[in-house]
A and B are shown apart, each in its own frame.
Chain A
């Protein structure tokens, strides 16, 4: 009884604090969604003339949908680049010894914690010096480079849990490295790889600080929104944001159901931050 009282007496202000933090976190999101239906514009209390007009405007707005298509394409290729290099990088960190390994790991992880402006500008200088014109390709290269860190972290964590004996058995039974890689290593890493792909895709869709400096003629969605914010704002931006938010929620639910099937911890976002900051 005393123990229960002790636990019950303190959390009151903690509970109030939690409610306040949640209110703070969700206030802008609620406003965003609510005002996407507001006939009278982005601000103003109370909301007036609820309408679907902004969604109609949005669906007729080809510039936005072009930028959405660009973003989807950029994100898909960025996933391929980040995984294509992040998986080998994780294998290298897990199983190879080479001079400069510690520095290699640091450099690889650096874009995760570095303000995007530094990654963006340094790449801009590279492309300018090598006379490469800015386009969606340069954005893809930027996203790929920045997000290898995510793929490496996730896959490396998966490798740490992998039972090496399975690979040994496969090699002993006469499979070569290539077969072992595709039939034993990759299937065991499936969840890590899917998780990394989803995260990289989302981060790329939302990325703006690096893209800001590498943009050519074609906009990605965040840059399209950015351009409009400077010209004056309408609830059309609320509408597109609401739609993307709903899609993200669906993705989270799917991801969550996938993850609970496996025994992996749901704390990997925290691990990612710790790896970014502390490098191990």
Chain B
């Protein structure tokens, strides 16, 4: 029903834009990752694997990458532990307050990401709310200094940011479970516990996968929360990339690390999609 011209008009502009602003930049990043920097700080277009070799052999790079993955894994786990029961409660037990509760989960998303990280900083600092409160009620006499500038602060902040994102797809999955399946499970004599483990949980797995992947991938690549709250022990891989593109002026090495992240992210998306297909019920 649509003419060739119509199809060309809607297809070509976005295709061109994607070529220029996504494909070419990714290819450039790929090329840079095989180049190097000379002593006089110019890019040398000599193709080699040195950047990848450094990434694997220099401890600080691969250790920071592993630490970032560990931080992202904890963020994902805590977001699921907070988000799943909440989604379950809203979907099955919130009754008339369901709509209100749903909005209450969404609203924090409208507060700037940066501002929420900043708010945690004012809570966790040595002169911050939590420490002064603890001293005010005489629970402690000195500020607790592990609260801020630590991996703990980064995990806490990122969990705060990604819990609503994890909640959303889980809630959507739970809402889509046909209620008569649950009734059938009860009628056939299953206890509520059995119904949860054998019916509800398996049917919500696609939502869990979507939420977990989202939280893991985006916290893995974060550099703002660690820069603001992480301190030296909470540095993540993107902070290293930022410094390589800034003061350290080593774009090629920075590109190699970014490209590794890109490959990691795309493989995770691929894996998540495969798992989701396996679990989704038709």
Closest Cβ of chain A to B165, distance in Å, is 6
Q: Does A69 contact B (CB under 8 A)?
A: no
Q: CB-CB < 8 A to A18: which residues of B?
A: 85-86, 89-90, 101
Q: List 14 A-B contacts (CB under 8 A).
A: A17-B86, A18-B85, A25-B108, A42-B122, A43-B131, A45-B133, A98-B7, A115-B265, A117-B258, A121-B258, A167-B1, A229-B118, A251-B110, A267-B168
User: Which 6 residue pairs of A and B lie closest in terms of their CB atoms, listed nearest first?
Assistant: A115-B221, A122-B25, A28-B119, A270-B172, A89-B14, A248-B110
Q: Does B151 contact A (CB under 8 A)?
A: no
Tell whether, in the assembled complex, residue A213 and residue B245 are in contact, meaning their CB atoms are under 8 Å apart: yes
Tell whether, in the assembled complex, residue B210 and residue A115 are in contact, meaning their CB atoms are under 8 Å apart: no
Q: CB-CB < 8 A to B214: which residues of A?
A: 113, 273, 276-277
What per-residue 1/0 map shows which CB atoms of B20-56 lie under 8 Å from chain A? 1111111011001000000000000000000000000
Tell whether, in the assembled complex, residue A225 and residue B114 are in contact, meaning their CB atoms are under 8 Å apart: yes
Q: Does B248 contact A (CB under 8 A)?
A: no
Question: With A95-B7, A117-B221, A270-B168 known to touch, is A28 a contact of B132 (CB < 8 Å)?
Answer: no
Q: Does B163 contact A (CB under 8 A)?
A: yes
Chain A interface, number of residues (Cβ within 8 angstroms): 94
B28 contacts which of A114, A122, A167, A279 (Cβ < 8 Å)?
A122
Q: CB-CB < 8 A to B204: which residues of A?
A: none
Question: With A28-B119, A126-B28 known to touch, is A121 a contact of B255 (CB < 8 Å)?
Answer: yes
Question: With A25-B163, A269-B106 known to touch, is A88 a contact of B272 (CB < 8 Å)?
Answer: no
Separation of A115 and B224 alpha carbons in the complex (Å) = 11
Closest Cβ of chain B to A19, distance in Å, is 10
A148 contacts which of B14, B128, B210, B211 (Cβ < 8 Å)?
B14
Q: Does B152 contact A (CB under 8 A)?
A: no
Q: Does B69 contact A (CB under 8 A)?
A: no
B112 contacts which of A3, A43, A95, A206 (Cβ < 8 Å)?
A206
Tell whether, in the assembled complex, residue B112 and residue A11 are in contact, meaning their CB atoms are under 8 Å apart: no
Closest Cβ of chain A to B202, distance in Å, is 17
Considering only residues 103-120 of chain A, those with a C-beta below 8 Å from chain B are 104, 107-108, 110-111, 113-118
Closest Cβ of chain A to B234, distance in Å, is 16
Separation of A176 and B136 alpha carbons in the complex (Å) = 74
A209 contacts which of B211, B223, B262 (Cβ < 8 Å)?
B223
What per-residue 1/0 map shows which CB atoms of A161-182 lie under 8 Å from chain B? 0001001100100000100000
Q: CB-CB < 8 A to B168: which residues of A?
A: 267, 269-270, 273
Q: Does A1 contact B (CB under 8 A)?
A: no
Question: With A28-B116, A96-B2, A277-B209 known to touch, is A145 a contact of B22 (CB < 8 Å)?
Answer: yes
Considering only residues 185-234 of chain A, those with a C-beta below 8 Å from chain B are 202, 205-206, 208-209, 212-213, 222, 225-226, 229, 233
Question: With A24-B82, A43-B128, A126-B28 known to touch, is A244 a contact of B112 (CB < 8 Å)?
Answer: yes
Mark A residues whose CB is within 8 Å of B: 3, 6-7, 10-11, 14-15, 17-18, 21-22, 24-29, 31-32, 35, 41-46, 85-86, 88-89, 91-92, 95-96, 98, 104, 107-108, 110-111, 113-118, 121-126, 129, 141, 145, 148, 164, 167-168, 171, 177, 202, 205-206, 208-209, 212-213, 222, 225-226, 229, 233, 237-238, 241, 244-245, 248-249, 251-252, 256, 266-267, 269-271, 273-274, 276-279
Q: CB-CB < 8 A to B207: which residues of A?
A: 270, 274
Closest Cβ of chain A to B250, distance in Å, is 13
Considering only residues 238-264 of chain B, those with a C-beta below 8 Å from chain A are 238, 241-242, 245, 251, 254-255, 258, 261-262
Q: Does B77 contact A (CB under 8 A)?
A: no
B164 contacts which of A25, A213, A233, A251 (Cβ < 8 Å)?
A25
A14 contacts which of B10, B88, B213, B255 (Cβ < 8 Å)?
B88
A113 contacts which of B119, B125, B269 (Cβ < 8 Å)?
B269
